[in-house]
Amino acid sequence: MKYNELQISANKDKLRVGRGISAGRGKTAGRGTKGQKARTGKKLRPMFQGGSNPLAQSAPKARGFKSLREPAQIVYLDHLNDLAGDVDNFRLFEEGYIATPFHRVKVIARGELSAKVVLKVQAASKSVVEAIKKAGGEFVKTPTPLKTSAKEAEKK
């Protein structure tokens, strides 16, 4: 017999407990005998540990702060040697230096810059701005490009 030939229904019926001894789950209905959890009525809240100090209170907490902001995509200065002329998010994306053109891009220093570049991205380190000016180019800080919906593209 193969796994795909098994005759099993996907949805099992809900177990009906407390329906007599012959049903297999009668009398105590799987709750055991006596005790707070065997009684009907009030349910115990999650993390309740019988009145003692809850484990969640006595365990040390994770301190600090976790930022939900996505970090900027990094491009290195020596990559710009291959890209003379205007360089923006879309050009960097086409050349394969960043994963998506719709997130912040920061250029940081590594190596030398020999090409004349007009860099139009969201951020660059001070040393990168100096290196670009020294090579005869310029740095223009631009906002992060937003995705346009299909409806907006049709209107234009």
> Mean pLDDT over residues 71-92, rounded?
92
35 part of a folded domain: no
20 part of a folded domain: no
> Mean pLDDT over residues 119-138, rounded?
94
Report the number of distinct structural domains present in the chain: 1
pLDDT in tens, 133-147: 999 999 999 999 998
Helix or strand holding residue 86 (H, E): strand 85-88
Range of lowest pLDDT (53-57, 59-63, 103-107, 148-152): 53-57
User: What's the pTM value of the predicted model, to 2 decimals?
Assistant: 0.57
101 part of a folded domain: yes
82 part of a folded domain: yes
Domain range for 99 = 73-141
Between CA 91 and CA 101 the distance in angstroms is 8
- Kindly tell me if the per-residue pLDDT of 56 is higher than 80: no
Residue 103 sits in a domain whose CATH number is: 3.100.10.10
63 part of a folded domain: no
Residue 82, φ and ψ in degrees, nearest 5: -80, -15
97 part of a folded domain: yes
Alpha helices in 1-149 (DSSP H): 55-58, 89-95, 126-134
Q: What is the pLDDT of residue 117?
A: 92
12 part of a folded domain: no
Q: What is the pLDDT of residue 143?
A: 95
Q: What is the pLDDT of residue 53?
A: 74
